[in-house]
Amino acid sequence: MGKYDRIIGMEHHVSQNHPRMSMTNRGAQFSPFAALTGYDDLVAETARFTDSLSELDDDERERLGRELQDAFMTGSKVRITYFVPDVRKSGGSYRVSTGKIARIDEIERKVYLDRKTAVNIDDITDVYAEQAEDR
């Protein structure tokens, strides 16, 4: 007589207290877990590219200032390219906003487009003002 002969033919036990676990839940017990929570997010953030701010010389800054003043005085629509620093890492990205200049604040060093978009003057890298014939 073998060691398990007396139980080999018995019916499988079904608990009266605990419901049977679904196959999905049973499989989830064996799925891998993230031992380092946040690691994947950190890797993705490190891999994200940022641009660096290109420094403009004095002549270029002066030209941009003239373009802004001229567009403000004539009420021309402008397209301003400016740099926005990244809040998480060094560098940032370039953005473009268009509209009419509502106000230039020399004290805060900001240009306000259509009263809703504020751009730091020191972060502006290019200004394109539409000419009278472009409008």
User: What is the band of 96 on the pLDDT scale with cuts at 50, 70, 90?
Assistant: very high
Is the CATH code 3.40.390.10 the one for domain 10-135?
Answer: no
Confidence of residue 33 (pLDDT cuts 50, 70, 90): low
Question: Is residue 135 scored above 50 in pLDDT?
Answer: no
Query: Average of pLDDT values for 12-30?
Result: 85
Domain ranges of the chain: 10-135
**Model confidence pLDDT, tens digit, residues 45-61:** 777 777 777 788 889 99
Per-residue pLDDT for 129 more than 80? yes
Residue 78: pLDDT band by 50, 70, 90 thresholds? very high
Whether the per-residue pLDDT at 134 is higher than 50: the answer is no
78: phi then psi, degrees, rounded to nearest 5? -125, 155
